[in-house]
Amino acid sequence: SEVVRKICFQLLLMCLLYYPMGVLLGPLLVSYSVVGECGGLTSFPFLKKEENTIITYLPKIGNIILDEELDVVTLIDHEYACFNFRGFELGNHFCEYVGFDIDMTKYPPRETQIPFLRTYLESYLNEKARLERIEEERKRLYEKEGLVAATTSPTGCEEKDAHTGAANTNGHDKMTVTEEMVERLYVEANKYSLASHLHWGIWGLAQARISTIEFDYFAYAMKRLKAYMQAKDGMLSLSA
């Protein structure tokens, strides 16, 4: 695929640019292996495009800074935010449990993941339903009063009409999350954890040569790629 070709080119270019010729063989062999795994992974159905893509923020503890004196929470690492698959977001979140040492014994077991995933689905579906009800009510009121959908302020910013938040969501039943939905998300998240290992393994290879931070990125990359290989068969065997 085009994605795999781009990964192959980028890894090869990285090796040629940043690794001395005397130590080039090792990184090239690693890159060749990683590219092969990326190519294999893209052939699996769980990597096909989903409807519910979200914005990935890498929600890990280290990215949430609490200033207890000011009682202010600050989120960092915005440069790593992007559009991505829901499964990658969740799989990557679970991978963060293992730390920089990649201690896979700390990867959350099923009994820890299931309540988390159920709460995720409940929050997502109920918020989605609430916003849809507000939008439906807004449209109904606009049509009833002959108003346009939105007005524009002198600054060019869209103004919120007084009716926009008028929908009363009290009394609505919560959206039902079935065990089947939770199970499908469990399989999706854990299969995508493989993509997380590959992603950060490739990132570590690049950072090993271009970063000025005193951290053994190459060792980190090797640990992530090793974790991928160890988890691959088990994760790909999951089914819902």
Residue 67, H or E segment: strand 64-67
What is the model's pLDDT at position 155? 39
- pTM as predicted: 0.69
Task: Report the pLDDT averaged over residues 158-166.
Answer: 36
Q: How far is CA 169 from CA 5, 119, 145, 173, 227, in A?
A: 49, 19, 22, 9, 45
Query: Mean pLDDT lowest for which of 14-28, 40-54, 171-185?
Result: 14-28
- The Cα 62–Cα 77 span in angstroms is 10
What is the model's pLDDT at position 101? 94
Task: Report the pLDDT averaged over residues 123-149.
Answer: 82
Phi, psi of 160 (to 5 degrees): -85, 120
What is the model's pLDDT at position 223? 92
What is the model's pLDDT at position 214? 93
- The Cα 61–Cα 223 span in angstroms is 21
As a whole number, the mean pLDDT across the chain is: 74
Task: Report the pLDDT averaged over residues 107-135.
Answer: 92
Condensed to tens digits (0 to 9), the pLDDT of residues 80-104 reads: 777 778 888 899 999 999 999 999 9
Whether 57 has a pLDDT exceeding 70, the answer reads: no
3-state secondary structure 69-87: CCCEEEECCHHHCEEECHH
